[in-house]
Amino acid sequence: MGEVNSKSTAQLERRAVVSELLKDRGDLLLVTGLGSPSYDAMAAGDNPANFYLWGAMGSSVTIGLGLALAQPDRPVMVLTGDGELLMGLGALATAGAKQPGNLSIAVLDNERYGETGMQLTHSAQGVDLAGVAAACNFSHTEVIRDLNDVAPFGQRAQATDFGVRLAQIKIKAESPEKVLPSRDGVFITTRFRANLGFATL
């Protein structure tokens, strides 16, 4: 990777972060944003309660919102990156207005578009993602820079009556080996629904 101009001093490794985040996931339902967050979730262990997004960039939060509304007794987490979140930033307003009690968003923020050549995102240029979430009426927002703070957010995400939570987790700009989940959207969808006891169509 070439040198890029950023003031970020983040040292957290994304795979370690996701492993901590999901280690006691219980009956958590997980929606991952396209790109590295999907590979990270897959590296932590495939699970029928994972929905991996491969396209429609900007949709992870809205998918998580719809799922949270339909499954109010299950904790729902969206695991995405700063670039994917930025493409659907209005969804933070939609989630904040709707306020499901069981939705958490974990943003792996490397301040880069990691899939396309590590170009800097808005997050590297003064835009405060956790601040946007706070302004959108989220019940809890935090910026995580210490690995010890990751598992507590995972536990916080277990509550189903807490409103919408967001953690902006500052990670290194690195590209670990890709661990690819299935790219078959029908399979991922059908498996997810079957795991909840629903028919295919």
Partner 1 sequence: MLDDKQPDALPDPLDVWSDEVFDVLLAADIKHVVYVPDSGHARLIERAIAEPSIKATVLTTEEEGIGVLLGAWLGGERGVLLMQSSGAGNCTNTLSLVQSCRFPFLTLVTMRGEWAEFNGWQTPMGKVTGQSLELMDVKAYRVEQSEEAAEVVSAVAESVFCGDLAAAVLLSQRMIGKKEWAK
Nearer Cβ to partner 1 (47/110): 47
State the minimum distance, in angstroms, from the CB of residue 194 to partner 1.
11
Examine residue 64 and tell whether it contacts partner 1 (CB under 8 A).
yes
- Of 9-17, 47-55, 107-115, 143-151: span binding partner 1 (CB under 8 A): 47-55
Which of 91, 108, 133, 171 is in the footprint of partner 1 by CB under 8 A? 91
- For residues 23 and 151, is the Cβ–Cβ distance under 8 A? yes
Which of 6, 8, 19, 71 is in the footprint of partner 1 by CB under 8 A? 71
Nearer Cβ to partner 1 (65/86): 65
- C-alpha angle 125-179-64 in degrees, rounded to nearest 5: 60
Q: Is 105 helix (H, G, I), strand (E, B) or coil?
A: strand
Tokens for 21, please give them. Answer: 């985040």
- For residues 31 and 67, is the Cβ–Cβ distance under 8 A? yes
State the minimum distance, in angstroms, from the CB of residue 159 to partner 1.
18
Q: Which is nearest to 41 in space by CA: 63, 66, 22?
A: 22
- For residues 165 and 134, is the Cβ–Cβ distance under 8 A? no
State the minimum distance, in angstroms, from the CB of residue 55 to partner 1.
5
The secondary structure element, H or E, covering residue 144 is strand 140-144
Site residues for partner 1 per CB under 8 A: 29, 31, 51, 54-71, 88, 90-91, 93-94, 97-98, 185-186, 188-189, 192-193, 196-198, 201
